Amino acid sequence: MSAALRLTRAAPAGGGGAWLLALPVVTFIVVFLAWPVATVLYTAFADGQGGFTTGHIGAFLSISLMREAFVNSVIVAIGSVALATLIAVPLAYLTARFEFRGAALVQTLGVLPLVMPPFVGAVALQLLFGRNGSINLLLGDAFGIRIPFMEGLNGVMFVEGLHYFPFILLNLVAALGNIDGAMEEAAQNLGSHGFRLFRRVVFPLAAPGFVAGAALVFVKVFDDLGTPLVLNVTNMLAPQAYLRITSVGIEDPIGYVIALVMVVFSIAALALSAQITKGRDYATLTRGGTALRKRPLTGWNAMLAYGWVLLVLALVLSPHLGLLLLSLAKVWSFSVLPDGYTLQHFALVLTDSSRMIGNTLLYCTLAAGIDVVLGTAIAYLLLRTRLPGRQWLDWGASAALAIPGIVLAIGFLRAFRGLELPLIGGALTASWIAIMLAYAVRRLPYAVRSCVAALQQVHVSLEEAAQNLGANRRRTARRVVIPLMMGGILAGFVTSFITAAVELSATILLATTESQAPLSYGIYLYNQSIATRGPAAALGVIAIVIVALGTYLSHLLLEARAGGAKFAVDTE
Subset of 326-345 contacting another protein (CB under 8 A): 330-335
Alpha carbons 495 and 540: distance in angstroms, whole number = 18
Instruction: List C-alpha distances in Å: 418 to 76, 414, 437.
Output: 41, 9, 17
Sites for another protein among residues 346-365 (CB under 8 A): 358-359, 361-363, 365
Alpha carbons 78 and 75: distance in angstroms, whole number = 5
Contact 91, 166 (CB under 8 A): no
- Which of residues 391 and 528 has its CB atom nearest to another protein in the complex? 528
Sites for another protein among residues 187-226 (CB under 8 A): none
- In whole angstroms, the minimum distance from the beta carbon of 406 to another protein comes to 7
- In whole angstroms, the minimum distance from the beta carbon of 71 to another protein comes to 14
Alpha carbons 297 and 350: distance in angstroms, whole number = 44
List alpha helices for 130-252, DSSP H.
Answer: 134-143, 152-177, 181-189, 194-197, 203-223, 226-230, 237-243
Choose which of 24, 58, 307, 563 interacts with another protein (CB under 8 A): 58
- In whole angstroms, the minimum distance from the beta carbon of 396 to another protein comes to 25
Instruction: List C-alpha distances in Å: 559 to 233, 291, 550.
Output: 42, 16, 14
Sites for another protein among residues 444-463 (CB under 8 A): none
Choose which of 6, 196, 417, 478 interacts with another protein (CB under 8 A): 417
- Told to check if 235 binds another protein by CB under 8 A, we report yes
- Told to check if 234 binds another protein by CB under 8 A, we report yes
- Told to check if 418 binds another protein by CB under 8 A, we report yes
- In whole angstroms, the minimum distance from the beta carbon of 408 to another protein comes to 12
- Which of residues 247 and 468 has its CB atom nearest to another protein in the complex? 247
- Told to check if 142 binds another protein by CB under 8 A, we report no
Interface mask (CB under 8 A) for another protein, residues 72-101, using x and -?
------------------------------
* Contact region with another protein (CB under 8 A), list: 20-28, 43-51, 374-382, 546-554: 43-51
* Contact partners, residue 355, CB within 8 Å, separation at least 6: 515
Sites for another protein among residues 121-140 (CB under 8 A): 123, 126-127, 130-133
Helix and strand numbers, DSSP H then E, in the chain: 27, 0
- Which of residues 38 and 248 has its CB atom nearest to another protein in the complex? 248
Choose which of 188, 286, 461, 512 interacts with another protein (CB under 8 A): 512
| Gap between the terminal Cα atoms of the chain | 25
CB burial string 18-53: b at 16+ within 10 A, e below = beebbeebbebbeebbbebbebbbebbbbeeeeeee
- In whole angstroms, the minimum distance from the beta carbon of 52 to another protein comes to 10
Contact 310, 113 (CB under 8 A): no
Sites for another protein among residues 147-166 (CB under 8 A): 152
How many residues at the interface with another protein, by CB under 8 A? Answer: 84
- In whole angstroms, the minimum distance from the beta carbon of 132 to another protein comes to 5
- In whole angstroms, the minimum distance from the beta carbon of 551 to another protein comes to 19
* Contact region with another protein (CB under 8 A), list: 70-78, 247-255, 298-306, 371-379: 247-255
* Contact region with another protein (CB under 8 A), list: 159-167, 198-206, 518-526, 547-555: 518-526
Alpha carbons 145 and 344: distance in angstroms, whole number = 36
- Told to check if 260 binds another protein by CB under 8 A, we report no
- Told to check if 246 binds another protein by CB under 8 A, we report yes
Sites for another protein among residues 269-308 (CB under 8 A): none
- In whole angstroms, the minimum distance from the beta carbon of 78 to another protein comes to 21
Choose which of 10, 276, 514, 570 interacts with another protein (CB under 8 A): 514
Alpha carbons 316 and 295: distance in angstroms, whole number = 26
Choose which of 298, 351, 513, 571 interacts with another protein (CB under 8 A): 513
Contact 537, 323 (CB under 8 A): yes
> Within 13 Å of residue 103, how many CA atoms lie on the same side as its CB?
20
Instruction: List C-alpha distances in Å: 325 to 159, 176, 181, 350, 543.
Output: 19, 36, 43, 18, 15
Task: Give the residue among 488, 523, 557 at the shortest CA–CA distance from 360.
Answer: 523
Alpha carbons 378 and 384: distance in angstroms, whole number = 10
- Which of residues 253 and 396 has its CB atom nearest to another protein in the complex? 253
- Which of residues 125 and 176 has its CB atom nearest to another protein in the complex? 125
* Contact region with another protein (CB under 8 A), list: 159-167, 423-431, 441-449, 468-476: 423-431
- In whole angstroms, the minimum distance from the beta carbon of 415 to another protein comes to 10
Amino acid sitting at position 208: P
Task: Give the residue among 85, 455, 484, 487 at the shortest CA–CA distance from 281.
Answer: 455
Sites for another protein among residues 377-406 (CB under 8 A): 406
DSSP secondary structure of 299-321: HHHHHHHHHHHHHHHHHHTHHHH
- Which of residues 79 and 226 has its CB atom nearest to another protein in the complex? 226
